[in-house]
Amino acid sequence: MSQPQTPEDRRKSIRITDKLEIPSIDTRKYRVIRLHNQLEVLLVHDADTDMASAAMDVNVRCFSDELDMPGVAHGVEHLSFMGTEKYPDENAYTKYLALHSGSFNAHTGATSTNYYFEIAAKRVEDATATDASPLYGALDRFAQFFISPLFLANTLDRELRAVDSEHKKNLQSDTWRLSRLGKALSNPKHPYCHFPTGNYEVLKIEPEAKGMDVRQKFMEFHKKHYSANRMKLVVLGRESLGELESWVIDMFSGVENKDLKQNRWESEVPFRPDDLLTQCFAKPVMDLRQLDLCFPFIDEELLFESQPSRYISHLIGHEGPGSIMSYINSRGWASGRLGAGVWPVCPGTPGIFKCQIRLTEDGLANYQEIVKIVFQYISLLKESPPALWIFEEQKSLADIEFKFRQKTPARKFSSKIAAVMQTPLPREWIISGLSKLRTFNPDRIKEGLACLRPDNFRMTVVSQKMPGSWKSKEKWYGTEYTYEKIPLDLIEEIKKAHSTTMKDRLPELHLPHKNAFIPTKLEVEKKEIKEAALEPKLLRNDDKARIWFKKDDTFWVPKANLHDLVQDALEEYSYDAELTVLNYSIQSHSSGIEVAVSGYNDKLLVLLEKGLVTMRDLEVKPERFEIIKERMARALANADFQQPFRQVGSHTSWLNSERGYLGEHWRPELPHIDVEDIQQFYPQLLRQIHIETLVHGNLYKEDALKLGDLVETTLNPRLLPRTQWPVSRNLIFPPGANSVYHKNLADPKNVNHCIEYLLTVGDISDRPLLAKTQLLDQMTHEPAFNQLRTKEQLGYIIISGMRGTSTTVGFKFIIQSERNCKYLEARIESFLASYRKTLGNMSEVEFEKHKMSLINSRLEKLNNLDQETNRFWEHISVESFDFDQVYQDAAQIKALRHDDMVKFYDTFIIPTSVTRSKLAIHLNSQVISLLDLEKSSATEEVSDKVEGNGTIPFVITDVREFKSKMVVSRGRQAIRHISEFEE
């Protein structure tokens, strides 16, 4: 046991290292220390950051749950936020973060619980030199979760209902269902089989029926497992390393060290011999067809220098010529990509190598042949000694990507690195982590390949049709399945495939060729500049094309992005490019076709030219057309089985748009389209176009003009007259509008309803109106979450904030809940009515804090080149050219007065306003919820009925008729004349 700490001890720390391996463009400073209580900490000084962050990773999660109370670790995660001895208010933490541009979350893995937050890094403008930064206050509140959480009794039931809602959110998710099924069919003596989420039944009802004090059980779990020596902390801020270290020592030395050993599971494995050579046929909710092969693998915990599974997964998952994917694609058996790689289980337990293939109908019928092809390729790998040149290609690409790795958001960085610190990596490598390959170890590769054999795997086939009947049902999610041993005759055929040699193996299978897309020119000409340019320049502006360009003057990486507004045939060719982080995409856009190419600028032109030529000369092959058509039909059908909160937004957009369609409108048309239709239509599509090009990155004007000209000369279109360019408009909901649209969910088993409640405010180009809507979002975000989620427990999914269309702006709520939509709408109205008093009584000090929090958020620096490219393209594609919008927004927000917001609220938001415009979309579950049957308690809860504005909701039954009565907005207007951007 650890010895009691003296005050002097508590001020001590051990410096482990400040020499970390970091990207060449990283200007941060790092230090790893260990406090006296054995808490290990990474301190990060970033003088340029606008957002500070911290994350704590605790080495305990569902693998430590007691068998009779699954999900207890998840419950502890939820309850830890609900008040501490120093800050007893249950929303003290969230309210503080909200006032300083902050956000928070937590997530859990098998063996760790990861808590993190992000907050403004700067002191407020009027702060004195002695005022602490927002990070200081956030850290103080954050530390208490690990020192003295209260597990408030009055929050217990509410938070366990939140856990229950989170679980029910995933009940119809195939990702969760299939993952759970695989674990349910594993070794019951290994915690891999545990049910990680928990629900109200197992965390509250059943334990209390047994006489347990549930709150005490959660407190005991925290006391037993939360120990400083099992925790890893990351703190990132503007402050010096010395100041951050002082804060951490002061705030986190109070975390008790119980000298617990690292959680390890070494005595059992997930798959016993009896669990192997099995096949599981699983019935999904969505129309999926999938083949999974799982192999118990070697333990790579200490193999971080060589990572043999990366070599193996690179080859098995390859999609270029000679690969498994290339061959089964040629047979028409694959519908999507092939994924291959190791899934780590937990410390002390070897990982699981998994190969996953999405199948066509023919592929499903021939899944046994595909299994044999996989084993033939494995025999090829075993026959071919591990190749140094393949490893060196992987190493080279990994080195380049790490060298020029750009910043990620502070919260993402902190959360990820805190988790990495739980691994045995040398502390100097916790930033580079597993992203780099250091040592070629052919023996370990061979050892890994030896695990991929016919007596060491199990198979899952996912399909709604095969075998047609299912014998069993999984306990927690209700997934239907049939589980049995693989037939002996199939095993024999697999063994034969595994023993093939060059003479009798499929000649189409071979190792990949060398990758021609690996960049070699990585120079960046970095110049001293006074101020980075805020907008691109227009190099060309004529009837045929516009070419926008900005040379990167902020991030200094050898990368570039190209967007053209004007994928299947390029898959094999582009796979090598993808491996080098050189990507292309072709997708439909509201105004045409968008082509995007991004990555290292050295090879950008090569891939663009190949992509354009393929587009121009596309050969629509009948057999491939049928596969893509069927894939599209399934995607459209499956969209109706997504979680309701993911469906509701498309309905809102449809009801707001002048022209627009839902997937259900496309679906009946698809059967009537054949290959001849596409062959006739496609050539016309590119015959007459206007080309809008953005080139941004490590390139020069001449390069940009060359890339733009390449698009024009390759496609060689006729010009599209400006009068024929599309104009995007949206419907204008008049003052006093009160409309509701009802729709039943297609999934008959989804227990959740979902509402989107939208209040239309006005023209998105109206800067003062936009600023007020943004400030309303800032002010109400935390109170809405606290009231509707934390206190009322309406559901796990509670979203509120600004919602924009191409031409209008509004304010929305989205709630997914077992409660019906009528009830949810009443609770939203109740919140809006009560918040009017909060707004009216808000002090000037608090009001100014909200303004500053929002201004900090709007002016937050971009982290990488892609973010800046996307910002430019957003304004170019809608022709607003409002490149300095965030600065204009900040100026408008700064000028707002308290009475401005009160008038705004009374006009557009409060339920009694006769001028507000409301649209509610109700997606209704077909399942009658127990909560909705509890009429007596429901009556009590809605007793605070809100006074309305006297209008009767108009129920939309005929959308065409409804839209025909609406006025449409003007199109998006340019903030400045386009000529002002010409160079």
For 207-231, write each residue's pLDDT tens digit.
999 999 999 999 999 999 999 999 9
Catalytic pick among 40, 77, 118, 594: 77
Angle at 27 between CA 602 and CA 100, to 5 degrees: 115
Give residue 115's Cα distance to chain centre: 17
Annotate 663-695 with DSSP letters as a single string: HHHHGGGGGG--HHHHHHHHHHHTTEE-EEEEE
Annotation marks residue 77 as catalytic: yes
Residues 6+ apart with CB under 8 A from 729: 658, 806, 807, 968, 969, 970, 971
Asked if the model's pLDDT at residue 564 lies above 90, the reply is no
The band of 619, judged by pLDDT with boundaries at 50, 70 and 90, is confident
Which pair of structure tokens corresponds to residue 237?
């801020």
Asked if the model's pLDDT at residue 296 lies above 70, the reply is yes
The H-or-E segment that residue 436 falls in is none
Asked if the model's pLDDT at residue 709 lies above 80, the reply is yes
Asked if the model's pLDDT at residue 594 lies above 60, the reply is yes
893 exposure class (CB count in 10 Å sphere: 0-12, 13-18, 19+): buried
Asked if the model's pLDDT at residue 1 lies above 60, the reply is no
The band of 577, judged by pLDDT with boundaries at 50, 70 and 90, is low
Residues 6+ apart with CB under 8 A from 814: 645, 648, 649, 754, 755, 756, 757, 797, 798, 799, 800
Q: Which residues pair with 105 in a beta bridge?
A: 116
Asked if the model's pLDDT at residue 593 lies above 90, the reply is no
Q: Quote the percentage of the chain above a pLDDT of 70.
A: 95
Which pair of structure tokens corresponds to residue 366?
């021939």
What does the radius of gyration of the chain's CA atoms come to, in whole angstroms? 29
Asked if the model's pLDDT at residue 782 lies above 50, the reply is yes
The band of 944, judged by pLDDT with boundaries at 50, 70 and 90, is low
Which pair of structure tokens corresponds to residue 36?
């006296």
767-784 vs 885-895: helix crossing angle, rounded to 10: 70
Higher-confidence position of 466 and 648: 648
Asked if the model's pLDDT at residue 45 lies above 80, the reply is yes
Which of 420-429, 721-730, 834-843 has the weakest average pLDDT? 721-730
Q: Tens of pLDDT along 170-196? A: 999 999 999 999 999 999 999 999 999
The pLDDT value recorded for residue 175 is 95
Q: Tens of pLDDT along 524-550? A: 988 888 899 999 999 999 999 999 999
Per-residue 3-state assignment (H helix, E strand, C coil) for 551-587: ECCCCCCCEEEEEEECCCCCHHHHHHHHHCCCEEEEE
The band of 946, judged by pLDDT with boundaries at 50, 70 and 90, is confident
| Mean pLDDT, the chain, whole residue set | 92
The pLDDT value recorded for residue 937 is 47
Give residue 396's Cα distance to chain centre: 28
Asked if the model's pLDDT at residue 695 lies above 90, the reply is yes
The band of 148, judged by pLDDT with boundaries at 50, 70 and 90, is very high
Higher-confidence position of 406 and 944: 406
pTM summary value: 0.90
d(CA 505, CA 510) in angstroms, rounded, equals 10
**What are the C-alpha distances in Å from 832 to residues 66, 115, 806, 878, 948?**
42, 31, 26, 33, 11
The pLDDT value recorded for residue 438 is 97
The pLDDT value recorded for residue 466 is 85
d(CA 179, CA 280) in angstroms, rounded, equals 13
d(CA 390, CA 442) in angstroms, rounded, equals 11
The H-or-E segment that residue 305 falls in is none
d(CA 392, CA 889) in angstroms, rounded, equals 49
The pLDDT value recorded for residue 939 is 43
Asked if the model's pLDDT at residue 942 lies above 80, the reply is no
Q: Quote the percentage of the chain above a pLDDT of 90.
A: 82
Give residue 602's Cα distance to chain centre: 29
Q: Contacts for 379-385 with beta carbons within 8 Å, 24 or more apart?
A: 379/497, 379/498, 379/499, 379/500, 379/501, 379/505, 380/505, 380/509, 380/510, 380/511, 381/312, 381/315, 381/316, 381/449, 382/446, 382/449, 382/450, 383/501, 383/502, 384/511, 385/442
Residues 6+ apart with CB under 8 A from 138: 52, 54, 93, 96, 97, 100, 102, 117, 119
Virtual torsion, Cα 334, 335, 341, 345, nearest 10 deg: -120
Which of 107-121, 159-173, 574-588, 725-739 has the weakest average pLDDT? 574-588
Buried b (16+ CB within 10 A) or exposed e, 120-152: bbbbbeeeeeeeebbbbbbbbbbbbbbbbbbbb
- Dmax (CA) for the chain in angstroms is 84
Judge whether 883 and 534 are in contact, CB under 8 Å: yes
**What are the C-alpha distances in Å from 956 to residues 642, 663, 962, 965?**
23, 19, 7, 12
Judge whether 604 and 595 are in contact, CB under 8 Å: no
The pLDDT value recorded for residue 108 is 83
d(CA 335, CA 290) in angstroms, rounded, equals 9
Residue (of 833, 843, 649) closest to 757 by Cα position: 649
Mean pLDDT of 769-794: 96
d(CA 316, CA 780) in angstroms, rounded, equals 50
The pLDDT value recorded for residue 572 is 57
Angle at 263 between CA 258 and CA 264, to 5 degrees: 145
Asked if the model's pLDDT at residue 109 lies above 60, the reply is yes
